[in-house]
Amino acid sequence: MTNDILNVSGLTAQLRNGARIVDDISFSIKAGETFALLGESGCGKSMTALSLLRLLPDGVVNAGGTAQLDGVALFDLAEREMRAVRGGTAAMIFQEPALSLNPVMTVGQQIAEVLALHRGLRGAALQQRCVELLDQVGIPDAARRITEYPFQLSGGMKQRVMIAMALAGQPKLLVADEPTTALDVTIQAQVLQLLRDTQDASGMSLLLITHDLGVVAEMAHRVGVMYAGQIVEQAGRAQLFARPLHPYTQKLFAALPDAMRRNQPLTAIPGSVPPPGSIAQGCRFAPRCDKAWALCGEQTPDWTVTGEGQGVRCHLYVEGGRERGEGEKPGREKGEGRRVDAAPGFSPSPLSLPPSLLQVYDLQVHFPIRKGVLQRVVGQVKAVDGVSLDIPQGRTLALVGESGCGKTTLGKAVLQLIAPTSGSVQFAGHELTGLSARELRAQRAAMQIVFQDPYASLNPKMRVAEILEEGMAALDIGGNSAARQAHIDTLLDQVGLARNAKWRYPHEFSGGQRQRIAIARALAVSPQLLICDEPTSALDVSVQAQILNLLKSLQQELGLSYLFITHNLAVVEYLAHDVCVMYLGRIVERGAADEVLRAPRHPYTRALLSAVPRIDGEGRARIRLEGDLPSPANPPQGCHFAPRCPNAVEQCRAVYPPAASHSATHIVHCHLHGGDPG
């Protein structure tokens, strides 16, 4: 008898037309173990989890295989019996808490449902247990929070409520489907630590679904790499990260951005995951694999055991195939992984910098808070509170910070999409604040924005050609329609899309392709400055690599300047020349990328960097931040970060720190700047 809490064998799920979404999946999870399913979007990870819990959507059916959970055959249970398993023996954290929580029920009511059904609690004991669970997952003032609705909570707090609901039934297996996607690194660190602490305390097993290699490195004991409905590699975490075998796994590692690769293109994986049922025979990764040969297209590879606890589905590892391509260590493809010194001029001295294209001085964006019948102003939300920055021609300034700190508002205020309350925005020597709509129109072509979600920002009723031509027509650019169509063809070439794609609609493209269309739309009017608002936050690592390569090549070719808004510090390391760290509407540290990321001075910057999961195991000692970001409607007196700062002294709570220079380019707002805060 084994100590496996979950044993899955030959699991298959398919569409009603017979196309397999999950194809012959087998794995097991021991008690107290974390098993990670890793892979791109569309490879079948979430469908595997939904199959196990028998929650498949309409049109998808379970077509075979077995699943034993704590000795019980899940697929043999009646639906009434299965309801006792869901939330009891097994629970699930869904990817998007805002869509998974009931908006018309309080947080307490939703947790109470689970406790009443699976633990039989009632009355005062039920109420007390709800408070205990919220307190356990780190939500402050839990007794008050149970009476609040989901819309009153931040994204990180909603995710913690989902975890509290999942833990309420004391499950033996927790399925976590992308539990930290699009969360800030500080919130992500808190959520991952909470899951680890819960495992240590209860011996719970965890099926972790993710596309983030850093999260896998930090959490998993064993890993299954999934592609096009199949597990193509399975190994212990140490084995996989030391020597990935399958070409797909190797390319996932090679696509990761970091400082060592910032002067060379990332190894992007061409193409996309094939649709279910589109490849009847042969290796499903062969069309995207640079190590494929004739056999890969003719014969489906069998599962090959390569060592204890490690196996791979690849022809390279059967007799006669090994000499065609050995497994390589992460980042060693094509000479990558060597530390490459920054190219000359990457972080130049101020004397060698090109002239500033954008200059922002003491910019403020305050939104009035109105109450009462007469809607009197009773306060101000200080979304942006005195920000100054500049971006030279052809350089990238990364703006980083937690959600709610004012990054996006600042980007929109620079473009005058939101009217600043005060301050100055100068673009190419021209003052933008206070201009009329007619006067701003003359500047619009030179400044464009790429939004976070391309699906939401592209008109679903317009073809790509119409989307790209719209801006040119509005700004009288490009002459007649024939000239504009020729320009559109050139744009599609620049962003790596086929010219005939212009006659298709946005829904016909993948997420990465839609983001390329959004970039092409911004480039259509020949801008000098692009504001990129989290353009890669929800993309797979392989698609992210394609977009980063594109942005870097466009900058080199066209001399573009970027204001790159993000919370992904790995992307900052790869792409940015300069960095500004923003907290509660203010810049707390700024400087060249190497200065801020290698020698951070502000305690908040240090906490952000310490929270980033790293695949090399060389992360900084974790700095835990207490509480959540304060409200910009009522910022703390003195240093805004003082209530959460582990190094705060009395002076920090009384006076906002002035700017202190540590070099010609490195400036920090911290009372502890003279010594070492850490």
541, pLDDT greater than 50:
yes
Separation in Å, CA 541 to CA 28, 165, 237, 267: 26, 30, 18, 10
The answer to whether residue 276 scores a pLDDT higher than 90 is no
Mapping DSSP to helix (H, G, I), strand (E, B) and coil, where does residue 153 land?
A: coil
Residue 642 has pLDDT above 90, yes or no: yes
| 457: three-class secondary structure by DSSP | helix
Q: What is the distance between the alpha carbons of residues 560 and 354, in angstroms, rounded to a whole number?
A: 12
pLDDT digits (tens, 9 = 90+) for 469-486: 998 888 888 778 888 999
pTM (two decimals): 0.84
pLDDT at 347 over 50: no
Share of the chain above pLDDT 70, in %: 93
Phi-psi region of 566 (alpha: psi -120 to 50; beta: other; left: phi over 0): beta
Integer Cα distance of 256 and 544 in angstroms: 9
Distance separating alpha carbons of residues 608 and 18, to the nearest angstrom: 47
The values of phi and psi at residue 448, to 5°, are: -135, 165
Question: In Å, how far from its chain's centre is CA 343?
Answer: 28
Give the end-to-end CA distance of the chain in Å, rounded to a whole number: 50
Domain boundaries, the chain: 4-220, 242-335, 350-446+527-669
Asked if 603 contacts 657 with a C-beta cutoff of 8 angstroms, the reply is no
pLDDT in tens, 385-407: 999 999 999 999 999 998 888 99
The DSSP string of 488-503 is HHHHHHHTT--GGGGG
Backbone dihedral angles phi then psi of residue 437, each to the nearest 5 degrees: -60, -40
Secondary element (H or E) of residue 97: helix 97-100
Q: In what helix (H) or strand (E) does residue 522 lie, and over which residues does it extend? A: helix 511-523
Per DSSP, the three-state class of 137 is: coil
Would you say domain 350-446+527-669 falls under CATH 3.20.20.70? no
Query: Rounded to 5 degrees, what angle do the CA atoms 361, 362, 364 make?
Result: 125
The phi and psi torsions of 337 (rounded to 5 degrees) equal 105, -20
Residue 349 has pLDDT above 50, yes or no: no
pLDDT digits (tens, 9 = 90+) for 144-165: 889 999 988 877 788 889 989 9
Query: Confidence class of residue 669 from pLDDT cuts 50, 70 and 90?
Result: very high
Tell me which fold the domain 4-220 belongs to.
Rossmann fold (3.40.50)
Domain 350-446+527-669 in the same topology as domain 4-220:
yes
pLDDT for the residue numbered 617: 59
Query: Would you place residue 193 in the very low, low, confident or very high pLDDT band (cuts 50, 70, 90)?
Result: confident
